[in-house]
Chain A
């Protein structure tokens, strides 16, 4: 049995070596995607163009403005006398936000009356707007007490302390999901194509006439892609660490184990698709649709599962990337062991087992 699996694996690797385009795509695409997504898919907002309407023109108001500019998030793009030109500034995109300081700002502070500043935002890009708002709140909260010129200690204060990702950089949050996405798409498509290719070229018929068992063929065919995908995963993770400072705090061994589990499920799904498709083109489309969309949308990669409607939350339970991404974040970012993520890992095992069983059953019947 093992010999026959090896015979298929060796053959598949030889073919992969000759088909250097596919080999390159399997190894190079993850890296390329990581670079593109890693740099482009960032929710961090920098150099926010801030227009300022300072009607107070006081030491206090200048101090507040300085606090904004020194935070590193904002750059000033204009000093206005009133709010009327703001519309034009937003429309032309020259300003993303405006800080409006009222005339009685300094006086109110001096009189220890509650006061406020107005923060105007371009809400057409809500994601960016809410990020900017978050930064602005941070700045005002930090600068507020000192502005009052008093050692005013509020009685109750929430002191945010963000663990694992203190600067709330989105790349650290996104990279595990990206890894899952890349591995899922490439493992599903690579195996689906590898099996369907045999059907298309007519060699499957000859294989069926040999004593080679369906299970031997499947293992032999998926093994090489498991190897290649593991190498791609390791490269991607190393790159994520080097380029985006994604720390790997947990055990590499656990990381590898969970990754292999996840890949096994993906490869099994690829084989399952190969039993439904008769041409490489159909296999490619089925593979892409069934792996890319759920992994992108329903795994918590970008959109948090907890904020989805209940129906989608329910569906997300059958998306393996959901469990893999959750586990990856635990291992990579928090460095915790299986005592925390065992149930997610178990879900991956269950998914892999069901899919492989399904794939084998279908293969035995249809190949």
Chain B
């Protein structure tokens, strides 16, 4: 399942082998295996309940696996949890700052929790303020900060002790696009500096900024590769970009046409995914007979979303109803 490794084997920072976690009869994580290299931005995708957060919690030493094994920064997640905790930063899905403390007070507290002290703590606090762009607001209470600032502060807090790995669990939920872009610029910088970034998201925009992405669905890891490789693996000829004078009407019509798996509007273009290249002619014919002949027909590039929908559909078809 994992991607072919380059010739010079990279340093593996996070690895999971057949990792599983059950809660009673429910299998939240089902025999998941992957490796993440140093300095990599590793995206973990999937819908809610797919098992992303459970996997992250196991890797952070917050939850014990019920099967398989995993290691983070060279330490086993089942037996060496305290060693892991000094070497990771964790930014949880739920807000991980104290709203009733100021920016500075939050940084000092989390620094203390990460075992920093004295001059070292002060130096790292200044670094975090600068990295998050919060120098001017360091005395403001967190509850008075806009979401984007809070997110960068939470990241700053998780990085105070310079961990080799950070786990970010849906870090940019509810943040405006500009703040989101700044946040990801920060992540790029980190990765360039050699920090491994493990991030979960369900936003395709964010996934595009990851070096590699893994798709989880119902506890299983369905796909893992670079974005480019995932898109290249998509069957050729199955994506059509159609020009149309009435794109919305065309979309509605195509949704009921046999062989069409997905229709979406990209500007004035109708983006159609069909289950085999032979269907293309049928699509055009259906539009023509419906009085909505396409003004242009071009082979389209699959979006990441197309790729994932197909992967999930294929997996569901294999496992049966």
Chain A residues in the interface with B (C-beta under 8 A) = 3-4, 6-8, 10-11, 14-15, 18-19, 201-203, 205-212
Contact = CB atoms under 8 A, between A and B. Distances in A.
Contacts of A4: 112-113, 115
B100 A207 contact: no
Contact of A205 (B62, B88, B114): B62
A210 B61 contact: no
A209 B62 contact: yes
B85 interface: yes
Contacts of B62: 205, 208-209
A209 to B, nearest CB: 4
A210 B109 contact: no
B130 to A, nearest CB: 22
Most chain B CB atoms below 10 A, which of A203, A208, A210: A210
Contact of B112 (A3, A14, A203): A3
A70 B92 CA distance: 76
A19 B100 contact: yes
Contacts of B85: 209-211
A15 B113 contact: no
Contacts of A7: 108-109, 111-113
B76 interface: no
Given A19-B100, A206-B91, 15 more contacts: A3-B115, A3-B117, A7-B113, A11-B98, A15-B100, A18-B101, A18-B141, A205-B96, A209-B61, A209-B62, A209-B88, A209-B90, A209-B92, A211-B85, A211-B115
15 contacts: A4-B112, A6-B112, A8-B109, A10-B112, A11-B98, A11-B105, A18-B141, A19-B100, A202-B95, A202-B96, A203-B98, A205-B96, A206-B92, A210-B113, A210-B114
Contacts of B91: 206
Interface in B76-110: 82, 85-86, 88, 90-92, 94-101, 105, 108-110
B86 A211 contact: yes
B60 interface: yes
Interface string B103-142: 0010011111111010000000000000000000000010
B299 to A, nearest CB: 47
A228 B169 CA distance: 37
B280 to A, nearest CB: 50
A7 B115 CA distance: 10
B96 A203 contact: yes
Contacts of B96: 202-203, 205-206
Interface of B: 60-62, 82, 85-86, 88, 90-92, 94-101, 105, 108-115, 117, 141, 167
A204 B75 CA distance: 23
Contacts of A202: 92, 94-96
Contacts of B113: 4, 7-8, 207, 210-212
A10 B104 CA distance: 13
B117 A10 contact: no
Contacts of B114: 210-211
A18 B112 CA distance: 20
Contact of B101 (A11, A205, A212): A11
Contacts of B92: 202, 205-206, 209
A156 B141 CA distance: 78
A212 B92 CA distance: 16
A246 B7 CA distance: 85
B233 to A, nearest CB: 35
Contacts of B61: 209
Contacts of A211: 82, 85-86, 113-115
Q: Which 5 A-B pairs have the closest CB atoms?
A: A7-B112, A202-B94, A206-B96, A209-B90, A210-B113
Contacts of B97: 203
Contacts of B141: 18
A11 B167 CA distance: 24
A9 to B, nearest CB: 10
A31 to B, nearest CB: 25
Residue from the set B82, B86, B96 with the largest chain A CB neighbour count within 10 Å: B96
B228 to A, nearest CB: 33
A15 B111 CA distance: 17
B86 to A, nearest CB: 5
Contacts of A10: 108-109, 112
Nearest to A11: B109
Contacts of B111: 7
A3 B118 CA distance: 10
Contact of A15 (B82, B95, B98): B98
A125 to B, nearest CB: 49
A49 B250 CA distance: 97
A4 B100 CA distance: 20
Contacts of B110: 210
Given A209-B88, A210-B85, A15 B117 contact: no
A201 B117 CA distance: 26
Contacts of A208: 62
Contacts of A11: 98, 101, 105, 109, 112
A205 to B, nearest CB: 5
Nearest to B87: A211
A8 B94 CA distance: 20
A97 B18 CA distance: 86
Contacts of A19: 100
A3 B167 CA distance: 26
Contacts of A203: 95-98
Contacts of A205: 62, 92, 94, 96
B213 to A, nearest CB: 23
A19 B141 CA distance: 13
Contacts of A6: 112
Contacts of B99: 201
